[in-house]
Amino acid sequence: MDHLKQKMKPTVKVLLLVSCLTVFLVFMSGYLKDTPLSLDVGSGSPCQQCLSDDQWFAARFNKSVEPFLSAEHTLPKDAFNWWKYLQNEKRSYDVYSETVRNLFQVFPATPNVQKPSPNHCRTCAVVGNSGNLKGSCYGPLINSHNIILRMNTGRTTGYEADVGHRTTHRIMYPESGMDLDDDTHLVLFPFKIQDLEWVTKALTTGFFGTSYMPVRHKIKANKDLVMVINPAFMKYVHETWLEKRGGYPSTGFMSLIMALHICDEVHVFGFGADKDGNWNHYWEELRNKKLKTGLHPGTHEYETILRLARHLKIKFYMGS
C-alpha cells in the first residue's frame, strides 16, 4: 500500500500542474481579448496608455523621487530624521553618510534599473506572500513577466503552480536575508544604519551583530546586482501614498509603489488578509490569530491597491 501511495504522488502533482495549465490557458484566452491595464508611461511606449487626467493618481505619484540610493545621491536631512525613528537609530547623519560611501565601494555606484524604451514594455509582477495565492494557479502568468519581485522569504519550491518559479528581484532586510541566484537582484529595504552595514559585510567579510531577531552572518548574492532603497522614497510612500497612517508601510506596499516607478505595466498578486483580517503566508499556517496587519496600515494599503486597480494603474489579481 505504501508503495502504491508513493507511485501516486507524482501523478497527483502532474494532475495539479495540468489543471493549473488548463486554468491558465482559459484565463489567458479571455485576458488577451481585453486590453491589459497598465501605467501611463507617456507617448512612445508600446504599452497601453492610461487616463492622463487622473487627478487622484497625479497627486500621489511623484516621478522625481528616486527609489534607489546611488553614489551621487545625498539624502535630505529631514528624510534621515524621519527614517532614523523607524527602528530607533541612535547614530548621526554623518555616520549614515560614511556608511553609504563605504557601501558604494563594494556595490555599483548606480542601480541596475532597466530603462524605458519606445520598443519594449517593461512588465512587472509584484508577488506578495498572502495565503490567497494557494490554489490560484497564477504560476505560469507570474513567470511570463519581465520583472518578478518577491518579498522577504516568499517561497517558490513546492508552490510553483500557484506562485511561479522565476525571481528577478528579491526584496529583503537583514532579518529576512537569504541566498540568491547569481542573476537575481538583491533589493535591500534598510530601516537603520546597521542594515546598510549588514549588506556590505554579509557579501564580503561577514557580519557580526545583533538585531531584534537572528541575522545571517553571510549570504550569497551577485554584488553587481545589489540595489538599496532610498530612505527618502520610504518617507514618500508613507506620507504621500499612505497619508502618514501606521508606523510605516509594509514591505509589500513599498514594493508595489517601487514597481510603479520602474515598470511600464504592473501586475499585482498575493496581497490581502484572510477572512479574519490577518495577514498570512501561503506556505505556512498562521499561529497568531490576533496578528491583523501588525504595525502597518493594512486596511488602508489594501484600499489603495484596489483604488489603483480601479484607476487602471495596476492589474490586481485577488487570488483564490
- The C-alpha atoms of residue 179 and residue 160 are separated, in whole angstroms, by 19
DSSP conformational letter for 148: E
Unique residue bearing C-alpha cell 518577491: 150
Q: Which residues are catalytic?
A: 248, 296
Q: Is 288 annotated as a binding residue?
A: no
- The C-alpha atoms of residue 214 and residue 272 are separated, in whole angstroms, by 27
Number of H helices, E strands in the chain: 10, 7
- Interacting residues of 247 by C-beta distance below 8 A, sequence separation 6+: 86, 295, 296
- The C-alpha atoms of residue 1 and residue 310 are separated, in whole angstroms, by 53
- The C-alpha atoms of residue 45 and residue 241 are separated, in whole angstroms, by 26
At 203, give phi and psi (nearest 5°). -105, 5
Q: Is 146 annotated as a binding residue?
A: no
User: What Cα–Cα distance (Å) separates residue 63 from each residue in 211, 228, 260, 263, 315?
Assistant: 34, 18, 9, 12, 20
- The C-alpha atoms of residue 207 and residue 196 are separated, in whole angstroms, by 11
Q: Is 296 annotated as a binding residue?
A: yes
Q: Is 272 annotated as a binding residue?
A: yes
Decide if 124 contacts 266 (C-beta within 8 A).
yes
Residue (of 57, 56, 171, 160) closest to 124 by Cα position: 171
Q: Is 217 annotated as a binding residue?
A: no
Q: Is 138 annotated as a binding residue?
A: no
- Considering Cα of 189, then 194, then 196, then 197, what sign does the dihedral take? negative
Q: Is 281 annotated as a binding residue?
A: yes
Annotated binding site for substrate: 87, 129, 152, 212, 248, 252, 272, 281, 296
Annotated binding site: 87, 129, 152, 212, 248, 252, 272, 281, 296
